[in-house]
Amino acid sequence: MRNLTIACGLATMLLLAGCGEEISGDLPIDDATVRAAEALSGLDLTQAERTMMLEDLAESRQAYRGLRGMEIPNAVPPALRFDPLTARTGLREGPATGPAPVWSPAPEVTRPDDLDDLAFATIGELAELIRTRRVSCLELTELALDRLRRHGPDLECVVTLTEGRALRRARELDRMLDRGEYLGPLHGIPYGAKDLLAVRGYPTTWGARPYRNRILNGDATVVEKLDQAGAVLVAKLTLGALAWGDVWFGGTTRNPWNLEQGSSGSSAGPASAVAAGLVPFAIGSETWGSIVSPSTRCGTTGLRPTFGRVSRQGAMALSWSMDKIGPMARTVEDCAIVFDAIEGIDPADPTTVDRPFPYRPDRPLQDLRIGYLRSVFNEEYDWHTLHSEALDDLRRAGARLVPVELPGNRDLGTDIYNLSFILSAEAGAAFQDLVLSDRDDELVRQVRNAWPNVFRHAQFIPAVEYIQANRARVRLMELMAGVFDEIDVYVTPSFLGDNLLITNLTGHPQVVVPCGFETENAPTSISFVGRLYGEADVLAVAKAYQDATGWHRMHPPGF
């Protein structure tokens, strides 16, 4: 046991001995150095054990210094690759093809006298106007650009307008319609992208001052796929610096429902812009709550897909085993339409998979096994009444809700939050260069709960402990597979309990939808979680709830 403990703490000792000012100096690695690292790691070594490892520690420090001399771009992943599947799931050889998604019938829409009245139209409504040539792609693009210019400064949600690119593409898409070429429901639909996605010819800032003028060569795969589907990129939208919160180098992104309040993060700009009717949809990303949180704050609908369903090529890497890209829009079906365009395998991202997406908007809820986290819903909390009403709405829509529970600390054998430093370790590796160069000091937020502090303390996470946490993660994945033995989808408060951390660690998909207002102009949400690669089912359940309630049709005043 003592030898295992020594192994678990070894990396911390090495890092402590090799980080900081002594990188350029030569602080001796002696008994006192090891004792200090030992105390930090909570170890209890003998004098003989300390003496025995001194030469090895010095050699390891030298190896660290050598590695730090390499320039490793953020886009380069580690050799270890996360796979959300385990032997317990039985999905490893799942089908790559299946029934195509089915969309709701085209709505009856007319061209308004003032195109600004289309600011809150759905993708389905806008698509029908474009398909029938009642509104041109160029007109919709110019409308979005105008609204972004008018309202973007107040919301602080826009980093860069991609006006030249957008206008060229819109005109091209109109010419295609002249030739009878229609690309589908996203043809001519404007959208915004979280500014961690690369777009050729425009800055990709990651919301952080050290990168504010950096232009990457090429487009992210998600951007390429949306181009192919006919969508028109009109803006790069804000994110909290390096994907934490709503504070970026240009200010604080605002909640359209309350301009005194931030929009939450880190997909702050996408949520704010969609909620205010600046764009019909946007692309966000989530590592631990970055789609769910701003969607809740701003009253938008968001989909965090299964890990590996959407390529991350060309996106900022924060956590190679937890990052996921997904759509944020007005409705569940809007998210489904965008997801269908961006999901699928990408040779440039080896974590991606091909899986069917047999979405049906009219899937009877009686055909699905739907659970709810009874113990969480039974707690006393601010949104309890709203969430109880949401469960009643689901039952009236035809759902037969069965109580389920997520794995707890006792099931796992440790507190689930003890696994959360997996994110810190990977983020610390992704941005170690900022720490070593002191450019972490350029980041706007210099407080305990912000990336600069996390990046710094992450340098002291032992490699052995990171691996042990990922072994515990496999156990958590197996326990979650057991939950889905009995159900297809479950409904949960978006933030209470352990769901948000668990499902970001296990890679399960989650749909977040508005479910009412805590107080005036203060939206809140409820979430639906599906089995791995079960986006079609979880979206169908969320749509049935949304259709039965209508909270998504509420929009902030003043926009």
- Cβ–Cβ under 8 Å, residues 488 and 369: yes
**Residue (of 441, 432, 537) closest to 484 by Cα position:** 537
pLDDT tens for each residue of 346-366: 999 999 999 999 999 999 999
Cβ–Cβ contacts within 10 Å for residue 196, how many? 31
Instruction: Spot the catalytic one: 41, 60, 194, 321.
Output: 194
**Residue (of 429, 428, 419, 430) closest to 466 by Cα position:** 419
3-state SS of 244-269? CCCEECCEECEECCEEEEECCCCCHH
Structure tokens at 145: 């650009």
Q: Is the pLDDT assigned to residue 293 strictly greater than 60?
A: yes
Per-residue pLDDT averaged across 230-254, rounded? Answer: 98
Over the Cα atoms of the chain, what is R_g?
Answer: 24
pLDDT tens for each residue of 364-406: 999 999 999 999 999 999 899 999 999 999 999 999 999 999 9
- Determine the 3-state secondary structure of 80 from DSSP: coil
Structure tokens at 158: 């826009």
* DSSP at 305: P
Q: Is the pLDDT assigned to residue 90 strictly greater than 90?
A: no
pLDDT tens for each residue of 453-462: 999 989 989 9
Most confident region among 23-32, 65-74, 112-121 by mean pLDDT: 112-121
Q: CA 227 to CA 219: how far, in whole Å?
A: 10
Residue 194 appears among annotated catalytic residues: yes
Q: CA 397 to CA 399: how far, in whole Å?
A: 6
Q: CA 546 to CA 333: how far, in whole Å?
A: 10
Amino acid 373: pLDDT: 98
Q: For the whole model, what pTM was predicted?
A: 0.93
* Cα–Cα distances in angstroms (integers) from residue 8 to residues 18, 328, 414, 463, 464, in the given order: 17, 41, 17, 8, 5
Cβ–Cβ contacts within 10 Å for residue 471, how many? 8
Q: CA 31 to CA 36: how far, in whole Å?
A: 9
- Cβ–Cβ under 8 Å, residues 355 and 309: yes
Amino acid 411: pLDDT: 96
372 by Cβ neighbours in 10 Å (0-12 / 13-18 / 19+) ranks as buried
305 pLDDT tier (thresholds 50, 70, 90): very high
Please state which architecture CATH assigns to domain 115-405+477-553: Alpha-Beta Complex (3.90)
Amino acid 93: pLDDT: 55
Instruction: Spot the catalytic one: 41, 264, 266, 295.
Output: 266
pLDDT tens for each residue of 494-518: 999 999 999 999 999 999 999 999 9
Residue 290 appears among annotated catalytic residues: yes
- Cβ–Cβ under 8 Å, residues 329 and 293: no
Q: CA 461 to CA 67: how far, in whole Å?
A: 17
Structure tokens at 123: 């993708």
Q: CA 527 to CA 540: how far, in whole Å?
A: 13
Structure tokens at 509: 């998909």
Instruction: Spot the catalytic one: 285, 290, 295, 319.
Output: 290
Mean of pLDDT over the chain: 93
Alpha carbon distance, N-terminus to C-terminus of the chain? 63
Amino acid 60: pLDDT: 83
Contacts of 119 (CB under 8 A, 6+ apart): 143, 147, 277, 278, 559
